[in-house]
Amino acid sequence: MPNAYSRAAKAHDNNNEGIRLQKLLAQAGFGSRRKCEEIITDGRVEIDGELITELGTRVDPKHQEVRVDGSRVRVNPNHVTLALNKPKRVLSAMDDPKGRYTLRDIVGDKYERIFHMGRLDYDSEGLILMTNDGELSQHIMHPKYEVEKTYIATLDGRISGTVCRRLVTTGVQLDDGWIKLDRCAILDSSRDSTLVKVVLHSGKNRIVRRIFGSIGFPVRRLVRTQIGPIKLGDLKSGTYRVLSQVEVRSLSKAVGL
The residue among 92, 28, 14, 22 whose CA lies nearest residue 53 is 22
The residue among 177, 178, 91 whose CA lies nearest residue 128 is 91
Residue 133 designated active-site = no
The residue among 89, 119, 93, 112 whose CA lies nearest residue 104 is 93
Identify the burial level of 84 via C-beta atoms within 10 angstroms of its C-beta, where 0-12 means exposed, 13-18 middle and 19 or more buried.
buried
Give 173's contacts (C-beta < 8 A, 6+ positions apart): 179, 214
The residue among 217, 203, 221, 197 whose CA lies nearest residue 89 is 221
- E runs forming strands in 206-255: 219-227, 230-231, 240-242
Catalytic entry in 48, 96, 105, 121: 121
Give the residue numbers annotated as catalytic, written as ranges. Answer: 121
